[in-house]
Amino acid sequence: MYEQINYINTSTLLFLISITGIFLNQRNILVMLMSLEMMFLAVSFNLIFSSILLDDIVGQIFSLLILTVAAAESSIGLAILVVYYRIRSIITVELMTLMSG
């Protein structure tokens, strides 16, 4: 019983840290991307734990799907940031008017 509460608390703590990372640091896009990845990790951790607890494989399959999509999303986001940095030589969220089609 205490292990279940410990896993849920760890997942909730990771999720709250990532939410605060997104809301408190809105200037640096890299920190926002890392916070988003940590949010995906917290959700995935919660799905894996519930899958183990309920003796079901569906949570682990969804977790693999979430981590795959998160990896693809972060690689595309970092590629866009590298191109943006080469054009503007600075990465800030406030100055990203180049991206508005």
Answer whether residue 100 shows pLDDT above 80. no
pLDDT digits 0-9 by tens, 27-48: 788 888 889 999 999 999 999 9
Model-wide pTM > 0.85:
no
Residue pair 18/35 in contact by the 8 Å Cβ criterion = yes
In order of their start, the domains of the chain are 1-90 (1.10.287.3510)
Sign, CA dihedral 43-45-49-54, equals positive
Number of CB atoms found within 10 A of residue 86's CB: 8
Band the pLDDT of 95: cuts 50, 70, 90.
Answer: low
Q: What pLDDT band is residue 84 in, cutting at 50, 70 and 90?
A: confident
